[in-house]
């Protein structure tokens, strides 16, 4: 059960931060409604959508009915569920301020988050710009002025580049899953670039022949026969059709070797690291040199830059990194983090997640963007600067 309240409501999770009054005033000015959510949440939405990095950090338990529960590891999913439950109109802006629980090396597992989730704003470029501008305003409200390291990435632009490279769909999905994880991305690129060395997959000769013939129906029939011969019930795990589809995808991935020119283009794109004020021009130059089209993703980046400028954000102070992503799987476009220094942990993180609210049960697609402040890290950073 969730409860939507006015901005003056008590903070869930107990305790307080030194910034509560300032953040409450900011949220009021921005027209954000404070939402309270239970500390104990259903785990499935996190396990299904948040990605491996968060899944391995959450605290799981079992309910009386056997359901899998977890201590609230962040607010985005509970806030979206509260919106769906409340059936509120759109657009809608929600604020939150409370405790979250997540295993973090060298830091307490319980810490405080505050932030804003903006649901249903159809002008995505302006909503993205406001999310970043408001995150910076929230840091100022918490007393952090002066130099900050703002890093921006764009998953939609990365996906547009992969589409332009005309990679097999399986490889595109694999690379998208690696976005924001430098080690996984390096490994995937290495797999794409190496030459075939013997048999890419150790498969039964009959299955290999069916794969080479390209008949999904015949392959599924063979898998079904093998399952029946092995005594596996038809409702046990994946269906023969699903297994056949996965085998076909694996063979395509194993047999794909990226042409040197394409690998160079992908590597050059991922190496792009420049002020946001230069990003559009640099990407246009890259596209012209390679013959690849970014399509609407580049036009959207330009529109968002214009909206950021209109919101008073100096683009020259923001770093655009083409390879930068965040480790939550539900992001679909803009992603950003703000730190006090190059080697400091993020004080703020956020981005766009247009598919999440529908996945959680909304009746229709809802565009969404938001940001979260780590209030404990902000307090520590302000102490260092004082």
pLDDT single digits (tens) 288-303: 888 888 889 999 999 9
**Coil/strand/helix, residue 124:** helix
The total of structural domains in the chain comes to: 3
**Coil/strand/helix, residue 110:** strand
pLDDT at 348: 98
Out of 215-229, 238-252, 325-339, least confident range:
238-252
- Please name the residues in contact with 362: beta carbons below 8 A apart, sequence gap of 6 or more: 80, 83, 84
Three-state SS string over 9-68 comes to: CCCCCCCCCCCHHHHHHHHHHCCCEEEECCCEEECHHHHHHCCHHHHCCCCEEECCCCCE
Please indicate, yes or no, whether residues 37 and 154 belong to a single structural domain of this protein: no
Instruction: Summarize the confidence of residues 39-68 as an average pLDDT.
Output: 89
Task: Provide DSSP, 235-285.
Answer: TSSS-HHHHHHHHHHHHHHHH----HHHHHHHHHHHT-EEEHHHHHHHHHH
* 317 DSSP 8-state letter: G
Is 295 within the bounds of a domain?
yes
Residue 36 tokens read as: 């309270």
Please indicate, yes or no, whether residues 12 and 108 belong to a single structural domain of this protein: yes
Instruction: Summarize the confidence of residues 252-280 as an average pLDDT.
Output: 80
**Coil/strand/helix, residue 92:** strand
Q: Mean pLDDT score of the chain, rounded to an integer? A: 86
Report yes or no on whether pTM surpasses 0.85. no
Which of 182, 186, 257, 247 is closest to 220 using CA atoms?
A: 247
Which of 154, 75, 150, 109 is closest to 344 using CA atoms?
A: 150
Please indicate, yes or no, whether residues 122 and 242 belong to a single structural domain of this protein: no
> Is pLDDT above 80 for 164?
yes
**Coil/strand/helix, residue 345:** coil
Is 200 within the bounds of a domain?
no
Instruction: Summarize the confidence of residues 150-169 as an average pLDDT.
Output: 88
Is 197 within the bounds of a domain?
no
pLDDT at 233: 58
| % of the chain with per-residue pLDDT over 70 | 86
Please indicate, yes or no, whether residues 263 and 242 belong to a single structural domain of this protein: no
**How far apart, in whole angstroms, are the C-alpha atoms of residue 12 and residue 41?**
13
Please indicate, yes or no, whether residues 380 and 309 belong to a single structural domain of this protein: no
Query: What confidence tens digit (pLDDT) does each residue in 180-190 have?
Result: 787 888 887 77
**Coil/strand/helix, residue 227:** helix
The last residue of a domain, from among 255, 289, 320: 255
pLDDT at 350: 97
pLDDT at 188: 78
**What CATH number should be reported for the domain holding residue 176?**
3.30.930.10
Is 119 within the bounds of a domain?
yes
Please indicate, yes or no, whether residues 282 and 241 belong to a single structural domain of this protein: no
Is 352 within the bounds of a domain?
no
Please indicate, yes or no, whether residues 242 and 311 belong to a single structural domain of this protein: no
Query: What confidence tens digit (pLDDT) does each residue in 189-198 have?
Result: 777 776 434 4
**How far apart, in whole angstroms, are the C-alpha atoms of residue 192 and residue 196?**
10
Is 192 within the bounds of a domain?
no
| % of the chain with per-residue pLDDT over 90 | 54
Please indicate, yes or no, whether residues 15 and 105 belong to a single structural domain of this protein: yes
Out of 68-77, 132-141, 185-194, 327-336, least confident range:
185-194
**How far apart, in whole angstroms, are the C-alpha atoms of residue 339 and residue 265?**
30
On whether the CB atoms of residues 327 and 54 are closer than 8 A, the answer is yes
Please indicate, yes or no, whether residues 245 and 264 belong to a single structural domain of this protein: no
Instruction: Summarize the confidence of residues 334-348 as an average pLDDT.
Output: 94
> Is pLDDT above 70 for 311?
yes
> Is pLDDT above 60 for 13?
no
Is 77 within the bounds of a domain?
yes
Query: What confidence tens digit (pLDDT) does each residue in 211-239 have?
Result: 767 677 888 888 888 877 776 655 545 77
Residue 242 tokens read as: 């699903």
Please indicate, yes or no, whether residues 135 and 157 belong to a single structural domain of this protein: no
Residue 270 is part of which domain span? 149-182+259-339
228-264 per-residue burial string, b: 16 or more CB within 10 A, e: under 16: eeeeeeeeeeeebeebbeebbbebebeeeebeeebee
**How far apart, in whole angstroms, are the C-alpha atoms of residue 116 and residue 161?**
30
Please indicate, yes or no, whether residues 42 and 133 belong to a single structural domain of this protein: yes
Please indicate, yes or no, whether residues 12 and 120 belong to a single structural domain of this protein: yes
On whether the CB atoms of residues 160 and 369 are closer than 8 A, the answer is no
Higher-pLDDT residue of 19, 223: 19
Is 251 within the bounds of a domain?
yes
pLDDT at 218: 81
Residue 278 tokens read as: 């230069």
């Amino acid at each position: 059960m969730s409860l939507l309240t006015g901005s003056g409501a008590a903070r869930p999770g107990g305790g307080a931060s030194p910034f509560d009054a300032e953040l409450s005033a900011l949220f009021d000015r921005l027209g954000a409604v404070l939402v309270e959510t239970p500390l104990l949440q259903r785990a499935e939405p996190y396990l299904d959508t948040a990605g491996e990095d968060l899944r391995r950090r959450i605290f799981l338990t079992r309910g009386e009915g056997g359901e899998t529960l977890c201590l609230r590891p962040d607010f985005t999913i509970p806030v979206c569920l509260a919106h769906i439950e409340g059936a509120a109109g759109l657009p809608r802006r929600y604020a939150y301020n409370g405790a979250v629980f997540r295993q973090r090396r060298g830091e307490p597992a319980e810490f405080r988050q505050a932030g804003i989730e903006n649901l249903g704003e159809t002008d995505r470029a302006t909503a993205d710009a406001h999310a970043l501008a408001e995150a910076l305003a929230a840091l100022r409200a918490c007393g952090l002025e002066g130099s900050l390291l703002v890093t921006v990435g764009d998953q939609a632009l990365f996906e547009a580049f992969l589409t332009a490279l005309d990679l097999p769909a399986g490889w595109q999905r694999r690379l998208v899953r690696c976005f924001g994880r430098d080690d996984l991305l390096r490994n995937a690129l290495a797999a794409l670039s190496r030459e075939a060395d013997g048999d890419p997959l150790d498969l039964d000769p009959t299955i290999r022949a069916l794969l080479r013939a390209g008949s999904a129906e015949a392959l599924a029939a063979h898998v079904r026969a093998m399952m029946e011969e092995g005594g596996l019930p038809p409702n046990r795990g994946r269906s023969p059709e699903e297994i056949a589809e996965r085998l076909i995808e694996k063979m395509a991935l194993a047999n794909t070797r990226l042409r040197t020119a394409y690998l160079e283009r992908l590597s050059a794109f991922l190496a792009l690291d420049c002020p946001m004020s230069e990003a559009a021009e640099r990407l246009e130059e890259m596209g012209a040199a390679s013959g690849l089209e970014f399509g609407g993703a580049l036009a959207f980046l330009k529109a968002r830059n214009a909206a950021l400028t209109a919101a008073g954000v100096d683009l020259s102070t923001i770093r655009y990194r083409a390879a930068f992503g965040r480790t939550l799987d539900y992001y679909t476009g803009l992603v950003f983090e703000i730190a006090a220094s190059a080697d400091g942990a993020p004080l703020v993180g956020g981005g766009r997640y247009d598919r999440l609210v529908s996945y959680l049960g909304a009746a229709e697609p809802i565009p969404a963007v938001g940001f979260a402040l780590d209030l404990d890290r902000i307090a520590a950073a302000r102490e260092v600067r004082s």
